[in-house]
Structure 1
Amino acid sequence: MCHWKSPRAIRHIRANTPASVRAATRAALATRRERRRLEALMQLDGVSVPMASAVLTLLWPERYGVIDIRVWQVLHALGGVEGNPGGRGFTFAHWSRFLALLRGFSKRLGVSARAVERALFAAHRARQSGTLYAVGNRFRPEAR
């Protein structure tokens, strides 16, 4: 899963011991507080907000989706989130807002949070122009 989400971070992730991975996972599973869940996973080497969100999505796809550049750019272009138009360097505040939106759409549509996130990801891919990480490149709903 880590290799899928962030192949560049894999050498850092491999530096974690099995015991540290178990401890972080146990801590994330043991709390109901979102911040603590995220922070528990981020104690691991190579795990930032997007990777931690991927782990939580793997565990609970009904409640979580993976925060990433594509999904954030769609939400930003549609006015769902403010700030960070490029969709990089996510903080807990970004993730918390993202989760609130996903869960709201999930409830209204009767689908999992993961399904909402995947639909947003697909919308970005269908309308992306240029290179994903290019400076100034943003999702534009009207593109294509």
Structure 2
Amino acid sequence: MRDPILGAAMITAEQLIPYRTTSIDYTETDRLKEVYTRLRSERCPFYLTAAEFDAILSWKLHGQYGRQAGIRPANIEDVIRIVTGAALSVSHPDEDDEVELWLGILGSLRGVGVPVASAILALVFPETYAVIDFRGWRQIFGEAKRTFSVADYKRYLRAVKRLAAELGWLVQEVDLAIWEYDRSRGER
């Protein structure tokens, strides 16, 4: 379907319904969301430890996790706590500006670009944020893309939020369903 505002070959909400809980990562994703929800209520200000940060990297990167083995040690415990604490404490009245600040600050950690930063946001704030990757982009916009800017993320997030509102799901749930829909089609 062609979206008149985004100009996208957009997946429909109806197409996503069967994929809400079928992702190969669904159980682990749910577990991680529960962990970070609990930690958000226990820590003020909220931050991630090195182990919690590493769990997100492992979840997001899957088979590519090993490729970051050389740079991960540069993200020492204190740096991870300070950077994630600073990023996740920033508040701005304009949501676009806020997400831009969060992505920028999180991006100061080694190996964290927009996709990994978006994974942190999606697990910590699943009601509001999604993970950007090539599978989601392909299903939302009908085009191949492997690198993403902050502007790309904001565009993707607007489209996913629209689907979330239509379905009554968390933004992260919609994103995971899109990911599974694409994966189930066998496309690389």
Structure 1 length as normaliser, TM-score?
A: 0.79
How many corresponding residue pairs?
123
CA deviations 1:2-32 (Å, max 9, x no partner) are 1232202243223111111111111221123
CA distance in 2, matches of 1:105, 1:27: 30
Pair 1:96 & 2:154 matched: yes
Quick one: which amino acid aligns to residue 86 of structure 1?
Answer: A
Q: 1:18 aligns with which of 77, 83, 88?
A: 77
Q: 1:47 aligns with which of 92, 112, 121?
A: 112
CA deviations 1:59-92 (Å, max 9, x no partner) are 0111111111111111122xxxxxxx32211000
Contact 1:66/1:117 (<8 A) preserved: yes
RMSD over aligned Cα atoms: 1.3
Unmatched tracts of structure 2, length 5 or more? 1-55, 92-97
- Residue 116 of structure 1 corresponds to which residue in structure 2? 174
Structure with bigger helix share is: 2
CA distance in 2, matches of 1:14, 1:103: 35
CA distance in 1, matches of 2:166, 2:59: 30
Quick one: which amino acid aligns to residue 3 of structure 1?
Answer: S
- Residue 128 of structure 1 corresponds to which residue in structure 2? 186
Q: 1:3 aligns with which of 58, 63, 66?
A: 58
Structure 2 length as normaliser, TM-score?
A: 0.62
CA distance in 1, matches of 2:125, 2:59: 18
Aligned-pair identity (%): 33
